[in-house]
Amino acid sequence: MMSSQILEALSLGFSPEELEAAFSLHLSRWREERKSVEEPSAVTREKGSTERTIFIVGSNDLALDMLVSKLKEKDPDTVVVLTHAGSLGGLIALYENRAHVAGIHLLDEETGEYNYPYLKRLLPGRRMAVVNLAFRIQGLMYRKNNPKRIRGIEDVWRKDVTFINRQKGSGTRVLLDMELHKHNIKPSDIQGYEREVDTHVAVARIVARGEADTGLGIEAAAYATDLDFLPLFREKYDLVIPMENYNTNFISPIIDIVTSIDFKTAVVSMAGYDNSQTGNTQFVG
């Protein structure tokens, strides 16, 4: 059944990379529906197993989901535990040595720079490799034909608009709170500010069901859920890897995948992603 659908799509002119990107998007949506986000405490290993476990903690991202899938294909003996704890949660997990890799997109209000100011403040003196996963577009999602006539971020605090928020510590939440501060808006002025979910697809699904009028999230999640989308911000999503992990065979498969043409092609096939710096690495600390 699946093979025939793939062959039909290829015959219609879709590339393998486009099919892979679409599959990744719908797999993320399915996982959200099944509520199957893994937690580190759920990982068990039988005695004598040769499996290795890589803990990745940080912000939810569909390109990161694709990376994890490719890593599992490349090395079936490696167990990957991906926890959506937000960008700040990822950095805290690195600080506490509970993660090998953190995925972050944190805009610093003072400098206008992504990620590096937070590394300097939260992980001072630690040598880190910062590997760009992608640039992506954040914006407001809403139902088809825009029934509430949402035209910008200022409409989020209209009294007739209900909002669905991301969890504390997520880069998206940091971005929203910066915008509120910029416009002198109190969180209590937003209908639904206190309602939180952990992923972009969860935001999209709540909006699609009509339980909220809008939410801030990435374009790919809106596309996967058949919502309209208003692009507002271009942001930088990086993988942060301590040098003691970066220079090991344990982590090298991740670097190999991120720098591959295959992965870059698959990333850019998703809506709202830019692979122009994917795989580029800088060292800090």
Instruction: For 189-200, write each residue's pLDDT tens digit.
Output: 999 999 999 999
Q: Identify whether residues 242 and 159 lie together within a single domain.
A: no
Has residue 20 been placed in a domain? yes
Whether 244 and 212 map to the same domain: the answer is no
- Whole-number Å distance between alpha carbons of 61 and 168: 16
Q: pTM for the whole thing? A: 0.81
Average pLDDT over residues 156-163: 95
For residue 94, pLDDT over 70 is answered with yes
Mean local confidence (pLDDT), 263-276: 95
Residue 56 inside a domain? The answer is: yes
Rounded CA gap, 97 and 118, in Å? Answer: 17
- For residue 42, being part of any structural domain is answered with no
Asked if 57 and 128 sit in the same domain, the reply is yes
- Residue 45 within a domain: no
Long-range contacts from 69-76, C-beta under 8 angstroms, 24+ separation: 69/24, 69/27, 70/257, 70/263, 71/253, 71/254, 71/257, 74/253, 74/256, 74/257, 75/253
Residues in contact with 8: Cβ distance below 8 Å, sequence separation at least 6, in sequence order: none
pLDDT of residue 77: 86
Q: Cα 200 to the chain's mean position, in Å?
A: 7
Q: Are residues 224 and 272 in the same domain?
A: no
Boundary residue ending a domain (219, 234, 249):
234
Last residue of one domain, picked from the residues 210, 234, 258: 234
| Total structural domains within the chain | 2
Share of the chain above pLDDT 90, in %: 72
Residues 161 and 144 in one domain: yes
Are 251 and 127 in a shared domain?
yes
In a domain, 43, yes or no: no
Asked if residue 44 belongs to a domain, the reply is: no
Domain match, 208 and 114 both: no
- Expressed as residue numbers, the domain containing 60 is 2-37+51-132+238-284
* Domain membership flag for residue 30: yes
Backbone angles phi, psi at 89, to 5 degrees: -60, -35
Phi and psi at residue 104, to the nearest 5°: -140, 155
Helix axes 261-268, 16-34, angle to 10 degrees: 70
CATH number of the domain enclosing 203? 3.40.190.10
**Pair (161, 263) in one structural domain:** no
In a domain, 167, yes or no: yes
Residue 135 confidence (pLDDT): 98
Same domain, 202 and 257: no
Same domain, 223 and 121: no
- Specify whether 62 is located in the same domain as 151: no
| Per-residue model confidence as pLDDT tens digits over 140-156 | 999 999 999 999 999 99
**Tens-digit pLDDT profile for residues 206-262:** 999 999 999 999 999 999 999 999 999 999 999 999 999 998 988 999 999 999 999
**184: alpha, beta or left? (left if phi > 0; alpha if psi -120 to 50):** left
Q: Give the pLDDT score at 118.
A: 94
**pLDDT one-digit tens code per residue, 24-62:** 444 444 444 444 334 433 333 333 334 589 999 999 999
What pLDDT does residue 51 have? 53
Q: What CA dihedral angle connects 64, 70, 75 and 77, to 10 degrees?
A: 60
Report the candidate in 174, 272, 150 with the shortest Cα–Cα distance to residue 223: 272
**Quick one: pLDDT at residue 217?**
96
Of 11-25, 170-184, 243-257, which range is least confident? 11-25
Residue 170 Cα distances to 174, 182, 200, angstroms: 6, 19, 11
Q: Compute the average pLDDT of residues 6-23.
A: 44
64 with 100, same domain?
yes
